[in-house]
Chain A
Amino acid sequence: MTGPPERPSTERTRLATAGARAATAGSLSRQPGGDVVKGNIFFALLLLAIAVVLFGLAAIIVQAAINGAPALSFDLFTNPSSSLPERAGFRTALIGTLYLILGVVLLVVPIGVGAAIYLEEYADRTRWWNRLIELNIQNLAGVPSIIFGILGLAFIVRGPLDLGFIVAAGSLTLALLVLPTVILAAREAIRAVPPSIREGSLALGATQWQTIRRQVLPASIPGIATGVILAVSRAIGETAPLLLVGATTFVTFNPTFLGDDGYSALPVLIFNYATRPQDEFQTLASAGVIVMLVVLLAINAFAVWLRNRYERQW
């Protein structure tokens, strides 16, 4: 029952230990000089790539802010579209976009969440039709937006639905475009609710739908809401399909949801102003971009806040 064996603590052994440690560390960390240089160059390249991305993002925002600043005024929101730059603004287009998005939300929330509930809670994945639906949704998410414009033109504006060039047709087209995004996000949110919650509810005698409505849905609302908000922010900026389904640009009056006097939308009007030769219109287009980016950044920030505030760890 003695203490630890006494350490040899003479000057010589201390030096020997230090020397051995240095030799070991030296041989283990030794790298051919070329590798160090290559590694540094590689790291510099990585930083350069990140810098290019961040610089590009900053350039887009700063460029719009600088070019659009002269046109930023309250008139921008009160003037209708016009072919005279001094009288042109975005009022009619903003109202058009508001109606479009309202329609998108009304359509996409019930259908998207319904589809997600079906796929997560009811669908038997061994059945071919359910796998077909899943594959189909993934594919639909990658279809170019202008193809949805063609669908809108041939199927909704004309053809079977024959709605004409009205706001509702634009809403329906955009809703179909963002539907896959909403379904995928809602499925993620529903999947994150642990099975034990469902089993507990079922064991207490609740039916499957009661379980979904009172347990699963309330628990997954934050995730679903985040997905819907991100889909809406995509719909706000989407231009190409609207060009095809009748978002004409020179509407000088406020549009209505079902009126067939034509309508306009913010990104479409921005695009139209940008293609005009006068410098004043380029300025207006940049001002429109600022308005759109501010709205989108606010919406995205809200979505991030919502996710962080209500996200639950089970």
Chain B
Amino acid sequence: MQARDAIGASGAIGTSPPRSLEAPSRRYGEKAIQGLLALCAIVSVATTTAIVVSLLIPTLSFFSEVPVGDFLFGTDWAPTFAPASFGVLPVVVGTLSTTLWGMLVAVPVGLLSAIYLSEYARPGVRRVVKPVIEVLAGIPTVAIGIFALIALSPAIGKVLPFMVKVPPFSAGVAGIAIGLMIVPIIASISDDAMRAVPGGLREAAYALGATRMKVATRVVFPAAISGVVASVVLATSRAIGETMVVLLAAGASPNLSLDPGSSVQTMTAFIGTTATGDIATGTITYDTIFAVGTLLFAMTLVMNVVAIRLVRRYREVYE
């Protein structure tokens, strides 16, 4: 016993006091870095806040002069003329018109492309075609606008005169160009959604004797529907917010009409043409830009939130 005690005592003397696993210093540097990085992340929230604030303040001052009802339901849009009139419907309908014609092109072309890429294309073809389609998404919209103005509008006007009544401007032509611009969004996201559908569903359908077309349209497409809808909603939001194509190819005359041949002014085109000049702060024209901007922001925000929800839902199903 004594001997063992002695050994224990000498052992205790020889080693340092028990070490703790805590870090030797408080590591304030680490905390500071984490704070700095969090600050970077907060920049995005600050941006959204700044957008909302900078839109709302002039919008409120706008509505102190123009009644909300007159703005939202008025059918006469002449905010920069001497007896100014602030009925926003013509520019909203202008936006709807170009968006509608754009979606009429983009939805079938985009969805059929997605079905081809996901269900029919061989891997080698797919590896080439998908990036090429995505190149289209990277082409600046001003280039697409010039294409619509210089090439598309004369060509379509020659074949279908009712599409271009006031050459070279036409809501329909601008819409087709926008459609071309948003096809990659629909094709790419829908393709991802369809490829996320498990192969077992396809194999089961084939085993029951379904043809390739039936598998694509009755099994894969419905299974991927929330991703498909999300892609369409996202593309719609992009079409509504598109500025350069409509500025170049849709004309500048507010027009309460869905006629593809007429020239229209969209919400974005109004902002783009009116806000470029040296426009004085505090005037009613300056505030009008922000009122239209608020409406545009609200419309796209709703669509984006819906799209994000839908994308999240289809992700949860099969993972």
Q: Which of A39, A144, A243 contacts B276 (CB 8 A)?
A: A243
Q: What separation, in Å, do the CA atoms of A293 and B198 have in the docked complex?
A: 39
Measured between beta carbons, the chain A residues less than 8 angstroms from B297 are: 143-144, 147
Interface assignment of A155: CB less than 8 Å from any CB of chain B: yes
Q: What separation, in Å, do the CA atoms of A96 and B265 have in the docked complex?
A: 30
Q: In whole Å, how far is B38's beta carbon from the nearest beta carbon of chain A?
A: 5
Query: With A63-B147, A292-B143 known to touch, is A119 a contact of B136 (CB < 8 Å)?
Result: no
Q: What separation, in Å, do the CA atoms of A297 and B136 have in the docked complex?
A: 11
Give B136's nearest chain A residue, CB to CB: A57
Within 8 A of B (CB), among A114-150: 114-115, 117-119, 122-123, 132-133, 135-140, 142-150
Q: What separation, in Å, do the CA atoms of A271 and B51 have in the docked complex?
A: 26
Measured between beta carbons, the chain B residues less than 8 angstroms from A208 are: 30, 34
Q: What separation, in Å, do the CA atoms of A137 and B44 have in the docked complex?
A: 6
Interface assignment of B144: CB less than 8 Å from any CB of chain A: yes
Give B43's nearest chain A residue, CB to CB: A111
Q: What separation, in Å, do the CA atoms of A5 and B281 have in the docked complex?
A: 99
Interface assignment of B275: CB less than 8 Å from any CB of chain A: yes
Q: In whole Å, how far is A141's beta carbon from the nearest beta carbon of chain B?
A: 8
Q: Which of B10-18, B70-78, B79-87, B242-250 contacts A (4 or more CB under 8 A)?
A: B242-250
Do A56 and B305 touch (CB < 8 A)? Answer: no
Where chain B touches its partner, the secondary structure class is: helix
Interface assignment of A305: CB less than 8 Å from any CB of chain B: no
Interface assignment of B96: CB less than 8 Å from any CB of chain A: no
Do B300 and A143 touch (CB < 8 A)? Answer: yes
Q: What separation, in Å, do the CA atoms of A149 and B271 have in the docked complex?
A: 9
Query: With A117-B37, A271-B248 known to touch, is A142 a contact of B140 (CB < 8 Å)?
Result: no
Do B41 and A133 touch (CB < 8 A)? Answer: yes
Q: In whole Å, how far is B121's beta carbon from the nearest beta carbon of chain A?
A: 8
Contact with A along B35-67 (1 / 0, CB 8 A): 011111111110110110111001000000000
Measured between beta carbons, the chain A residues less than 8 angstroms from B120 are: 43, 46
Q: Which of A16-24, A76-84, A193-201, A281-289 contacts B (4 or more CB under 8 A)?
A: A281-289
Interface assignment of A254: CB less than 8 Å from any CB of chain B: no
Q: Which of B1-9, B108-116, B158-166, B254-262 contacts A (4 or more CB under 8 A)?
A: B108-116
Do A147 and B293 touch (CB < 8 A)? Answer: yes
Q: In whole Å, how far is B159's beta carbon from the nearest beta carbon of chain A?
A: 15
Measured between beta carbons, the chain B residues less than 8 angstroms from A146 are: 241, 243, 268, 271-272, 293, 296
Q: What separation, in Å, do the CA atoms of A180 and B234 have in the docked complex?
A: 16
Contact with B along A163-188 (1 / 0, CB 8 A): 00000000000001001100100000
Interface assignment of A296: CB less than 8 Å from any CB of chain B: yes
Do A63 and B138 touch (CB < 8 A)? Answer: no
Interface assignment of B149: CB less than 8 Å from any CB of chain A: yes
Within 8 A of A (CB), among B163-205: 180, 183-184, 187
Do A145 and B132 touch (CB < 8 A)? Answer: no
Do A209 and B29 touch (CB < 8 A)? Answer: yes
Number of A residues whose C-beta is below 8 Å from B? 89
Measured between beta carbons, the chain A residues less than 8 angstroms from B53 are: 155
Number of B residues whose C-beta is below 8 Å from A? 90
Do A50 and B275 touch (CB < 8 A)? Answer: no
Do A274 and B145 touch (CB < 8 A)? Answer: yes
Q: Which of A7-15, A86-94, A234-242 contacts B (4 or more CB under 8 A)?
A: A234-242
Q: In whole Å, how far is B150's beta carbon from the nearest beta carbon of chain A?
A: 6
Do B40 and A115 touch (CB < 8 A)? Answer: yes
Q: In whole Å, how far is A209's beta carbon from the nearest beta carbon of chain B?
A: 5
Interface assignment of A60: CB less than 8 Å from any CB of chain B: yes
Q: What separation, in Å, do the CA atoms of A261 and B42 have in the docked complex?
A: 33
Interface assignment of B68: CB less than 8 Å from any CB of chain A: no
Do B275 and A243 touch (CB < 8 A)? Answer: yes
Interface assignment of B317: CB less than 8 Å from any CB of chain A: no
Q: What separation, in Å, do the CA atoms of A50 and B114 have in the docked complex?
A: 9
Q: Which of A38, A110, A142 contacts B304 (CB 8 A)?
A: A142
Do A144 and B305 touch (CB < 8 A)? Answer: no
Interface assignment of B146: CB less than 8 Å from any CB of chain A: yes
Q: What separation, in Å, do the CA atoms of A243 and B289 have in the docked complex?
A: 13
Q: What separation, in Å, do the CA atoms of A52 and B111 have in the docked complex?
A: 12
Q: In whole Å, how far is B104's beta carbon from the nearest beta carbon of chain A?
A: 13
**Residue contacts A-B, CB under 8 angstroms, 17 given:** A31-B211, A50-B113, A53-B180, A54-B132, A57-B136, A64-B147, A114-B36, A115-B40, A115-B44, A133-B44, A133-B45, A144-B240, A147-B241, A147-B300, A237-B140, A244-B275, A289-B146
Sorted nearest first, the 7 A-B pairs with minimum C-beta distance are: A144-B241, A237-B140, A114-B40, A49-B112, A154-B54, A142-B304, A118-B37
